[in-house]
Homo-oligomer: A and B are copies of this chain.
Amino acid sequence: MTLAPLPAQRVVLATEDDPLRLEHGARLDHVEVAYETWGRLSPERDNAVFVCHALTGDAHAAGEGGWWESLVGPGRPVDTDRFFVICPNLLGGCRGTTGPSSVDPTTGRPWGLTFPLFTVHDLVSVHRRLLAHLGITRLHAAVGGSLGGMQVLQWAVDDPGAIDRALLVAASSRLTAQNIAFSAVARDAILHDPDFQGGAYAGTGRRPDRGLAVARRMAHITYVSEESLEAKFGRARVASAPDGPPQHETDFQVEAYLDHQAEVFLARFDALSYLYLTRVMDYFDPFADAGAAARAGSGGTRFLHVSFDTDWRFPTAHSRRTHEHLDAAGADSRHVEVASPWGHDSFLLDPPGYHDEVRAFLGGAPRS
């Protein structure tokens, strides 16, 4: 099973003559990036908003079926009537951008696990090449949730002043041991699926779908709050009467819900990308470099950190800590916690107050 390509634009951003050198020394001689844009770039090129996607996102942030359709669009907080919005599929992804399921030009075969491990810095390097390709030197804003917010933070560190407004939603500057543990179990499920075949499953007609489904189901539990699962499903049954006998098969509605989540996910995501992009998050720790916060604030970037009170994937403490690092280093930074019943996934939804915060933060009218 191969994933259907998305109808995005594509551009080659690294070649043998201009390779992408990764943070830890590896080199990519061919990087192609799929991206979408919405709205129009102003003549002054000063109304660009860059959307960085999260672990399992893609370039299709807005428009019909876009994963951030609620936030990005005409009249929305990220208003495509005013802003030129760009969203690329990440390096290492599986929806059009070069990643571990792409072909290694030196062997003619899919990379698999021979694709080099990369970092959030490398994700941002590719973003910066895309921006240069589009002829934009400074962003009105960079916005992202979860891993998307990590990219926004790294970007501010790597290229101070390239971003007017940096919006980090439900993000973290360093995963906890528990965060890492959950991702480790997810990867374990994939790596130990016999259909993973050491990562060389492309063209074999078999994918590690069982392992990837386990990974997704588990991760999904961490994306939603206990309260919202309870309110939505409680102990309601699908197949049997409330007092019917126990059965091995899916019976509680919450089980059917996870089954469905896994099924939908398998149709749009790849196990290798899951391995690489979760690993990217594990190693992210920009403030381990003592000068990073000061550098991020040195170009006049304004930061807004939004967290959600029921998020237990990246609880408010993560956003507060990132804010405090920046604030202590003199950056213009603000943190707001939004009340939401929906946990980590709130960044994709519309809890009261969230969109207003984003709208106000992006609000300075573009000069065009």
Mark A residues whose CB is within 8 Å of B: 24-25, 113, 117-119, 174-178, 180-182, 184-185, 187-189, 191-192, 194, 210, 213-214, 217-218, 221, 226, 229-230, 232-235, 242-243, 245-248, 250, 252-255, 258, 275, 279-280, 282-283, 285, 288
Contacts and interface: CB of A to CB of B under 8 A. Distances in A.
A234 B230 CA distance: 30
B194 A194 contact: yes
A240 to B, nearest CB: 10
B177 A229 contact: yes
A232 B176 CA distance: 11
**Could you say how many copies of this chain the assembly holds?**
2
Interface majority SS (helix, strand, loop, mixed), chain A: helix
29 contacts: A24-B246, A113-B248, A119-B246, A176-B229, A177-B230, A177-B232, A177-B252, A177-B253, A177-B254, A178-B226, A180-B254, A180-B255, A181-B217, A181-B254, A181-B258, A182-B221, A184-B217, A184-B252, A185-B217, A187-B248, A189-B214, A191-B248, A192-B210, A192-B213, A194-B194, A235-B285, A246-B279, A248-B275, A248-B279
Nearest to A119: B246
Given A175-B235, A246-B279, A248-B279, 19 more contacts: A24-B246, A25-B245, A177-B229, A177-B230, A177-B234, A178-B229, A178-B254, A180-B252, A181-B221, A181-B254, A182-B221, A185-B217, A185-B221, A188-B213, A188-B217, A192-B210, A192-B213, A235-B285, A242-B288
A285 B246 CA distance: 12
A125 to B, nearest CB: 15
A246 B115 CA distance: 13
A191 B250 CA distance: 12
Contact of A245 (B117, B185, B218): B117
Contacts of A254: 177-178, 180-181, 184
A229 B181 contact: yes
A185 B182 CA distance: 13
Contacts of A25: 245
Contacts of A288: 242-243
A185 B258 CA distance: 8
Nearest to A182: B221
A113 to B, nearest CB: 7
Nearest to A243: B288
Residue with the highest number of chain B CB atoms closer than 10 Å, among A180, A192, A229: A180
Pick the 5 closest A-B CB pairs, nearest first: A24-B245, A177-B229, A192-B210, A177-B254, A117-B246
Residue with the highest number of chain B CB atoms closer than 10 Å, among A189, A213, A233, A280: A189
Contacts of A217: 181, 184-185, 188
A210 to B, nearest CB: 4
Residue with the highest number of chain B CB atoms closer than 10 Å, among A182, A235, A279: A235
A307 to B, nearest CB: 16
B221 A258 contact: no
Nearest to A118: B246
Residue with the highest number of chain B CB atoms closer than 10 Å, among A113, A175, A229: A229
